[in-house]
Amino acid sequence: MSIGISNKKILITGGLGFIGSNLACRLVKHGNTITVVDSLIPEYGGNLRNIYDIQDKITVSLSDVRDVAAINNLIKGHDYLFNLAGQTSHLDSMLDPITDLDINAKAQLSILEACRRNNPDIRIVFASTRQIYGKPKYLPVDEKHPRHPVDVNGINKIAGEQYHILYQEVNGIASSVLRLTNTYGPRMRIKDARQTFLGIWIRNLLEGKTIQVFGDGKQRRDYNYIEDVLDALLITATKEEAVGKVYNLGAPNPLSLEDTAKIMCLEIEGSDYQMIAFPEDRKVIDVGDFICDYSAFCNQFGWEPKVNFEEGIQRSINYFKKEIKHYI
Residue 139 lies in a domain: yes
Count structural domains, the chain: 1
Residue 172 lies in a domain: yes
pLDDT of residue 3: 59
- Mean pLDDT value of segment 125-149: 96
Say which DSSP state 279 is in.
P
Asked if residue 178 lies in contact with residue 128, where contact means CB atoms within 8 angstroms, the answer is yes
* Residue 245, domain CATH: 3.40.50.720
Cite the beta strand spans of 110-254 per DSSP E.
123-129, 175-180, 182-184, 211-214, 220-221, 223-225, 246-248
Residue 178 lies in a domain: yes
pLDDT of residue 26: 97
| Structural domain harbouring 230 | 9-188+223-251
Confidence of residue 44 (pLDDT cuts 50, 70, 90): confident
Residue 31 lies in a domain: yes
Residue 13 lies in a domain: yes
Residue 127 lies in a domain: yes
Confidence of residue 298 (pLDDT cuts 50, 70, 90): very high
At 81-123, the pLDDT tens digits run 999 998 888 788 889 999 999 999 999 999 999 999 999 999 9
Instruction: Mark 141-166 as b/e (b = at least 16 C-beta within 10 Å).
Output: bebebeeebbbbbbbbbbbbbebbbe
Residue 4 lies in a domain: no
Count of CB atoms situated within 10 Å of the CB of 132: 21
Residue 213 lies in a domain: no
Q: What is the CA radius of gyration of the chain?
A: 19
Question: pTM value?
Answer: 0.96
pLDDT at 324 over 70: yes
Cite the beta strand spans of 226-272 per DSSP E.
246-248, 255-256
At 259-283, the pLDDT tens digits run 999 999 999 999 999 999 988 877 7
pLDDT at 1 over 70: no
